[in-house]
A and B are shown apart, each in its own frame.
Chain A
Amino acid sequence: MNCSIEKNIIVENLNLYYGTKQALFNIDMEIPRNKVTALIGPSGCGKSTFLRSINRMNDLIPKCRIDGSITYCGENIYGQGMDVIDLRRKVGMVFQKPNPFPMSIFENVAYGLRCQGVKDKIELQKTVKKALVDAALYDEVKDRLKENALSLSGGQQQRLCIARAIALSPDVILMDEPTSALDPIATAKIEDLINELKKDYTIIIVTHNMQQALRISDFTAFFLMGELMEFDETSKIFSHPKHQKTEDYITGRFG
């Protein structure tokens, strides 16, 4: 796969249907590499659906149908011969509610690697440690790696989920409102982390929080009723939105 190109996710004419109901309409978008792209819009506008279509998590929903294409590293992820498992390894995901597995902290981070068939203990330890360090969690948990992950606080759990994703050294990390279940301090930590992570990863984040989008993202996409209304650099979107609807939304007039 040729991943050196500047825009590594190219969405072309994407339509998505749940049964007979269409949820996404003709999305065209080029997501830049090593930048944070925020997806904003009112509830039910399709931003989460769009996010999940990037790593094909929508496959799990029965009757979900997609046409158009998403090209990742030059390859259509909905094309024939696409290895979904491989795709999900390269495109990691962090969910709205922290969802650590009911196993030890170490095993949580090592999980993805083990599923890939990594058995070497030293390699596992090294990778887990690096992932925890990168997720800014290592110092807090280094003495209790064997403890159950569910004993962590909500914010720690969410950083663990981030560590779990980056342990697989993905290219892209999808985040579905990762801070909506967290308190302000934990949120701030995650936001700092995102700022650090964007050096190495392309991050796409769904958020309901305008301030958060403004704080952390480089690009912003505004979704409305399943359509992509506007996509541009965050500063432009927030200072000079092209659409009236965008302005109404970010100034809090609806949503």
Chain B
Amino acid sequence: MSKNKKRMIKDGILQGITYLSSTVSLITLLAIVLFVFGRGYKLLNFDLIVENFESQGYVADLFDDFIFCDCPATIDLSDDFYYSEKWGIALSDGTDLLGKNIIEIEYIHPDSPFKMVQDKGIGEEPIILRTDYDIIRIAFEDYPTALSRYGAKNMIDSLNANNSIREIEFRTKGGGVRGSILTTIYLIGMTLMIALPIGVGAAIYLNEYAPINRITKLMRSLIETLTGVPSIIYGLMGLAIFVPLTVNLTSATGGNLISGALTLAVILMPVIIRTTEESLKVVPDEYRQASLAVGANKTQTTFKVVLPSALPGILTATLLAIGRIIGESAALVFAIGTSIKDDVSLTGKSTTLAVHIWAMMTDEPANIELSATIAIIIIFIVVILNIIIKIISSRYLKQKMGASS
């Protein structure tokens, strides 16, 4: 009996460690999700996606025919906001990422003269002030300029003491990821345009045409070897081949979207070929024979019968590829570069969301908040892609099982 007890204890311990091990994955996932949401949720809003990363500074003046507001705030303002009834604007103290004091616009009354200001630069365009802009300074005639480092209270007091201003300098919020999102989307489109035809074509050759011999075997193993190459090595290849190529052929001066897309296309090649081939393999031979038997030639058979049946597989390959492009960082650091840009062009130097994170994290000081926000976006997209892939494969599987039974 004691022998049995000893064994049961031993079994219990062994089983316990499998439970423990499994919790590691669970805890890791939870910790990552909690971390990115905890740090990133503050910045997560729709504006982030459409805003520029660089904040833009403006110097502006009030319109000449402005009238004072002299109105109480229409909403409840927090205690640490300073509100001027005369001007209808509320300001507060804040700090930027570098820890410097800034003054944030918190509220503008609809009748406030600050609702819309006049750009003093070229064109004298009207600008609508928004509540997430920072005020750098407000200058007056014959009165000390209210600088952001004197605080929000000083600025409101100065405003109340004056009846007009000389000029106001402010800047847009910045920190948006529009450029990186656009770049990522461009890259996905371009990469797939290059990689899909070649990958699917290669898969068709290997599965439909290739004779069974050593050369075919060699081709397969060469393609398979690509999967084991770390992405930073692909980056080096992009740097050594595609960057000079595009610099010579286009107006690019360094890493650019085209060289990035070409590099990504090579990275994705094995994934696309393997996934496509797997779906080609399950197309029953009867389909091909039936098509050939009604007088279609092999090309027609391939395009009209084989490829359509393999479509779910190709779609899966595409989604896997998109996931990989969104997550790829090391290769793109070399093949595109790390400059975060708001203007996106094919030969320009903007970068993707993943590299955006890396660039901000290797900068001093690291911007963990915005990085975490981008991470939320990335994780969200990747999870959605995963779900779609699962739905496709389970549907496809059902269809196939239905066909075979």
Contact = CB atoms under 8 A, between A and B. Distances in A.
A and B touch in the complex (CB under 8 A): yes
A252 interface: no
A99 interface: no
Contacts of B6: 117
A125 interface: no
A86 B6 CA distance: 14
A86 B4 CA distance: 9
B261 to A, nearest CB: 47
Interface in B1-51: 3-4, 6-7
Q: State the main secondary structure of chain A at its contact with B.
A: loop
Interface string A69-97: 00000000000000101100000000000
Chain B: interface size category: under 10
Contacts of B7: 117
A149 B4 CA distance: 29
A116 interface: yes
B360 to A, nearest CB: 51
B344 to A, nearest CB: 56
Contacts of B4: 83, 85-86
A104 to B, nearest CB: 22
A116 B7 CA distance: 8
A116 B4 CA distance: 8
Nearest to B3: A117
A194 to B, nearest CB: 31
Nearest to B1: A83
B362 to A, nearest CB: 48
A81 B6 CA distance: 18
A188 B6 CA distance: 42
Interface in A111-134: 116-117
B218 to A, nearest CB: 31
Interface string A192-224: 000000000000000000000000000000000
Contacts of A117: 3, 6-7
B9 to A, nearest CB: 11
Nearest to A117: B3
Nearest to A86: B4
Interface of B: 3-4, 6-7
Interface of A: 83, 85-86, 116-117
7 contacts: A83-B4, A85-B4, A86-B4, A116-B3, A117-B3, A117-B6, A117-B7
